[in-house]
Amino acid sequence: MLFAVLCTDKPNALQLRMDTRPEHIAFIDELNAKGGLAFAGPFLDDAGKPNGSLVVIRAETIEEARAIAAADPYAKAGLFAQVDIRPWNWVFNKPEA
């Protein structure tokens, strides 16, 4: 099952994001290697700077999706003001289709 993890950064947290980025990228790479990542990328503000994240993951349950999201170094560093996790159905332009 797919879950969309929608994250909003805390205000003025760009430096924290940049400082934590190498660990976050390693986490995402490992998740991808294990088959748990569908796709991911940052949301951008009006200046084109990252201010949140969209990570779509494969998990069996919402609890597993929450555990994966909580293990992200960005989450552990306290980057996010808000995290919303929702079951998601990839219908259009799905690579496997």
- What CATH number did the domain enclosing 36 receive? 3.30.70.1060
Helix, strand or coil for residue 51? Answer: strand
Could you report the per-residue pLDDT of 30-49, keeping only the tens digit for each? 999 999 999 999 999 999 99
b/e string for 43-79 if b means 16 or more Cβ within 10 A?
A: eeeeeeebbbbebbbbbeeeeebeebbeebbbbeeeb
94 within domain boundaries:
no
Q: Is the pTM of this model over 0.85?
A: yes
97 within domain boundaries:
no
Number of domains into which the chain is organized: 1
pLDDT grade, residue 96 (50/70/90)?
confident
CA distance to 4, 80, 81, 84, per residue, from 37 (Å)? 10, 20, 23, 17
Give residue 75's identity as a one-letter amino acid code: A
Residue 95 has pLDDT above 80, yes or no: yes
Could you report the per-residue pLDDT of 55-90, keeping only the tens digit for each? 999 999 999 999 999 999 999 999 999 999 999 999
Query: Which domain does 42 fall in, by range?
Result: 2-88
11 within domain boundaries:
yes
93 within domain boundaries:
no
76 within domain boundaries:
yes
What's the confidence (pLDDT) of residue 65? 98
41 within domain boundaries:
yes
